[in-house]
Amino acid sequence: MAHKPVIVVNGRFLAQRFSGAQMYAYHLLDNARRLPLWKELYWILAVPEQAKIPQQWHFAFDEIRMKGSMSRNPWDHLILPSLVPQNALLVNLSSMPSLRVENQLFCLHDVLPFIMPDAFNPLSRPWYRWLYKRSVKKFPFIVVSDYLKRMAMHLLGKNPINVIYPAGEHIEQVDETPIYNPLPDKYVLVIGGNVAYRPIQPVIDALKILRNIGIDIHLVYSQSSNKLLFSIQRNHEDYPWIHRIDLPSSGSVKFVMKRSIAVVVPSIDEAFGIPVLEASLSGVPVIVSQAPGLSESGTPCLRFPVDNPEILAQHILTLMKDKHFRHAYVNKCKQHAKQFSWKASAQKLLETISLTIK
């Protein structure tokens, strides 16, 4: 430990249900541990006591420090500082910094508190606005897209030290996990469709158009996993063809994704969009909104304005009726998604950490 720089990883995400941010942290670290540069550093994994640590990480990390039972922000600020040795670098890949630790590198995953404050729970909104500003001013940080880099400078007045993209190829390594809910024969899938920044209403309106011309198509969407943070939108239109289901794992996401006509991402704002890559690599057509952040993950994707359900309906109809177009479109999106690699991103992360500690 004395002969190597000490890196402490905030592993709090291992005590939570995975979201995009947690998935980003997990796959970056899981790929980073396999690279030669990993061994040049002394690694400590700091986690709450209820964390489920992957077996292979027990051998990859030099130390694992466990303390406290809280799994959300209070743990970061009250417990985590006591697990960080003096002069170590704390790395936060799935959450904002712990303000009581001076030496940190963190990942900024979005700027939603400034772009769309109504997406947040009213109690958490002012806290996150204050925390974002203070954190960006005080610590070096990375971001997940070029769009977010521009927005960080525009809204917070500081550039990140690096852009490290997510990837989506992990979906090919996950076995499909059947869900208990029966699925309809024909449906589109919306992931996270009950949070304000991914509104489900444009998809409902598009499917109404299709159903009015005799196409029996259903809508499936998953429930948000973070009701303490985000403002949850409830759909007031009770139709038997709208199904809200729980997708607790990557395997269940893949199972539902593979059986859908298309995955629709109706975001008002999106920093990057990992589900776009996941679906593309699984051979499922993706239709995305015109949110600027989706221009990177969804470069070749069919796009629609969230206030124009007619365009979305036409895209879905084309994918249902034109098999040749669907096949060519799926291949084009898959080739684009293959440009993003967790291994390449992990290498960039380790290089960024090395530069930060020098």
CATH of 6-167+341-357, one of 2.10.109.10, 3.40.50.2000, 3.40.50.1820, 3.30.70.260: 3.40.50.2000
pLDDT, mean of each 10-residue run, the chain (358 residues): 87 84 93 96 96 94 93 86 96 92 95 85 84 94 96 96 90 71 91 79 95 95 61 66 83 88 93 92 94 91 95 98 96 95 96 92
Rounded to whole angstroms, the Cα distance separating 12 from 73 reads 9
Check residue 229 and give its pLDDT. 55
Could you give the 3-state DSSP secondary structure of residue 339?
coil
Could you give the 3-state DSSP secondary structure of residue 152?
helix
249-298 per-position pLDDT tens digit: 778 888 899 999 999 999 999 999 998 999 999 999 999 999 998 999 99
Rounded to whole angstroms, the Cα distance separating 202 from 55 reads 42
CB atoms within 10 A of CB 347: 17
Answer yes or no: are the C-beta atoms of 196 and 164 closer than 8 Å: no
Check residue 56 and give its pLDDT. 94
Name residue, tokens 């029966």: 182
Q: What is the DSSP annotation of 204-258?
A: HHHHHHHHHTT---EEEEEPPS-TTTBPBPPP----TTEEEE---SHHHHHHHHH
Rounded to whole angstroms, the Cα distance separating 256 from 100 reads 42
- Closest by CA to 305, choosing from 343, 266, 274, is 266
Could you give the 3-state DSSP secondary structure of residue 86?
coil
Rounded to whole angstroms, the Cα distance separating 272 from 20 reads 10
- Closest by CA to 155, choosing from 197, 111, 124, is 111
Q: Name which CATH class applies to 170-337.
A: alpha beta
Check residue 169 and give its pLDDT. 75
Is there a common fold for 6-167+341-357 and 170-337? yes
- Closest by CA to 274, choosing from 188, 348, 337, 218, is 337
Write down the domain spans for the chain: 6-167+341-357, 170-337
Residue 343 tokens, joined: 């291994």
Phi, psi at residue 16, to the nearest 5°? -125, 165
Rounded to whole angstroms, the Cα distance separating 218 from 209 reads 12
111-152 per-position pLDDT tens digit: 988 998 887 777 788 888 999 999 999 999 999 999 999 999
Check residue 225 and give its pLDDT. 54
Answer yes or no: are the C-beta atoms of 251 and 176 closer than 8 Å: yes
Alpha helices in the chain (DSSP H): 20-32, 55-60, 73-78, 112-115, 125-138, 146-156, 201-212, 250-258, 274-281, 294-297, 309-321, 323-337, 342-357
Check residue 342 and give its pLDDT. 95
